[in-house]
Structure 1
Amino acid sequence: MGIGREFLTSTGGQEFVAGGIGGMASVIAGHPFDTIRIYMQQPRARTMTSTSMVDVSHRINALGGLSAFYKGMANCSILTKQNAVIFYTYERFSRMLGKDEDEDPLPYSKVAMAGFGTGLIQTSILTPVELVKIRLQLSTSMSQSRIGPLDVARSIFRAEGLPGFYRGLGITILRDAPAFAIYFTSNEYTLDLLHPGRTETSEISLLTTATAGGVAGVTSWITCYPQDVIKSRLQAQGAPGSPIKYTGIIDCFKKSIKEEGCRVMWRGLGNAVIRAFIANAAVFTAREISLRFMPKERKAASP
């Protein structure tokens, strides 16, 4: 009990718990848009003749109504833990770079460094989770729609072994390391614009928190979206109806451009931006509310 209380009263421990709660809010708020995004990013044959947000939404709805938009959400419960890891890791990097909870926020250059390191580390968790999620989201028959995360994980392991869970690791790193640098930097920048002169102990309104979180999500997604399209295509390979087509990142990029033009790298961006704002506003708002209910005597965890 002593260790648990010490952890929960430390800054890192509180960020871990609050980040996990923020992750839950993000999954609930943003998962339907995430399912639409995954469908829109696939080759045209995968989404029939149209890849518009409305037509893809109709197709998903035909697969099982509202529940079809939440395919893979059970697997996303792991993403709540991932968010806990993200905010804990970011806090640890921030401390290493000289952040003090009673002083002004870190300069943007160090925020970007902490975000880059956070994005790099969390890819080891995210890659297999998103692989399973994508396979579930792209289930296209009623029999396939009844399968769960464990069924998909077993099929991946039988077909490809343990390395199969890390299909797309390289492109996930190329997406997330710079994206998280931009994510945390744009969040801090927006907070500074909306709340000039703030310090680490300033209480910021939930509206400001939500707006900054939403802007952070949108900014990071815009900058990393082409990498996300390639990642989704690479990780969809091997799912029912998706034979192996690409040998790697460069091959996927070249074939996608050749077959569908440069615009394919931005297909679904509008939907992704909507989801990014809603989901990340939910993340930061739920995190902030959680922190306000935690013990006030926050102190830094031992390095």
Structure 2
Amino acid sequence: MSQQISLPAKLINGGIAGIVGVTCVFPIDLAKTRLQNQRQGQQVYKSMIDCLIKTVRSEGYFGMYRGAAVNLTLVTPEKAIKLAANDFFRCHLSKDGRGLTVFREMLAGCAAGMCQVIITTPMEMLKIQLQDAGRLATQQRKPCIIPPNRLATTNTVLSRSYNVVPNTSPHPSATQIARELLHTQGIQGLYKGLGATLLRDVPFSVIYFPLFANLNKLGKPTPDEAAPFYWSFISGCVAGSTAAVAVNPCDVVKTRLQSLSKGANEETYSGIIDCFGKIMKREGPSAFLKGACCRALVIAPLFGIVQVMYFIGVGEFIMSQSSLKLISD
């Protein structure tokens, strides 16, 4: 008899896990975005630690959480869709309740990754504008770095907020940016970089879910028992960090494409291939590893926490379907 899955419980698990995880690791994610957007010769930050220190000094403690509101708002449906979709496809790809082959696990992960971009793309789009605002403001404060004629040609969506008159107007909110994009570009404005997001999230899920499933299987006392929660956490961390580093080049391309506002002498890109070619030509292969350490540090605990919440069964407990499980029976 095939195992019955409770979609509402899975959605609750994914949502709670996403909120807890994002709250814990968001400052590192902010550092990742700012490091990835730096160009050679225009470095504002030397490393992740340097970025966080300078952010606190110039923007205060809450500056490290710039863009967190939109992430916390949308991470619930994003993580819920990702995890629930993977469970759904795994359930339907399994035969008579038997284990999946690696190929079928990868297929389920691929489908889950494709489903999540519905939420991920606009979430990342808005988050990146807010996260990168501090880097642009810091760059502008450097003497003679941005001539007035360069500022006049920056993106109109954000120029009124923090490009034209730095330090005199507040940073834009996610609502303001979304409203302006919808007004000027329509719904496709929020989905700028959709192709690059697919290019990142589909391979990530293809790598992550099978790797996690097989690592987690090693911690099961018997094939019919669940692995302890701490083993699920470790498996989530290892699988998440491995997948994150593997797709980091795609994440760099996505971040560059979704950055609406540019600093001095920062090039624009017409698409994925153009972005990839310009980065390779002007910055070299090492540019595709920018922020890889930060991304691994973000994804590892995030997915570790996600899997703990998911496998403990918080959603099932809330819906009174079962009691919480902290260890295998």
**How far, CA to CA, are the matches of 2:197 and 2:306 in structure 1?**
21
Max Rg structure? 2
Q: Which runs of 5+ in 2 are unaligned?
A: 138-166, 324-329
Specify which of 249, 265, 284 is matched with residue 226 of structure 1.
249
2-structure distance, mates of 1:40, 1:144: 24
Q: Secondary structure at the match of 1:172?
A: helix
CA distance in 2, matches of 1:143, 1:196: 61
Match of 1:90 in 2: 86
2:299 counterpart of 1:280: no
Q: Which amino acid aligns with 1:22?
A: A
Q: 1:99 offset after TM fit, Å?
A: 6.1
Q: How many residues align?
A: 285
How far 1:107 moved relative to its partner?
Answer: 2.8
CA distance in 2, matches of 1:46, 1:282: 38
- After TM superposition, the structure 1 stretch with the greater mean CA deviation from structure 2, 190-199 or 33-42, is 190-199
For 1:242 and 1:151, locate their aligned partners in 2 and report how far apart those are by CA, in whole Å.
26
CA–CA separation in structure 1 for the residues paired with 2:267 and 2:278: 13
CA RMSD of aligned residues (A): 2.4
What residue in structure 2 maps to residue 22 of structure 1?
A: 17
Question: Any residues of structure 2 matched to 1:229-268 within 5 Å, and which?
Answer: 229-238=252-261, 245-268=268-291
Cα 1:272–1:99 shift into 2, 3 Å: farther
In structure 2, the partner of 1:206 is 229
Asked if the contact 1:119/1:176 (under 8 Å) is kept, the reply is yes
1:78 paired with 2:74, answer: yes
Runs of 4+ in 1 over 6 A off after TM superposition: 239-244
Is 1:116 aligned to residue 110 of structure 2? yes
Q: For the residues of structure 2 that align with 1:240 and 1:288, how far apart are their CA atoms?
A: 44
Farther-moved stretch of structure 1 (9-18 vs 160-169)? 9-18
Identify which of 180, 203, 208 aligns with 1:183. Answer: 208
How far, CA to CA, are the matches of 2:85 and 2:41 in structure 1?
A: 37
Unpaired runs of at least 5, structure 1: 1-8, 298-303
Shift of 1:136: 0.9
Residue 234 of structure 1: CA displacement? 0.4
Tell me by how many angstroms 1:146 deviates. 4.2
In structure 2, C-alpha distance between the alignment counterparts of 1:195 and 1:143, rounded to whole Å: 58
Q: In the alignment, does 2:158 pair up with 1:135?
A: no
Aligned 8 A contact 1:135 1:239 in 2: no
Distance change in 2, residues 1:28/1:104 (3 Å):
farther
Corresponding letter in the other structure for 2:127: K
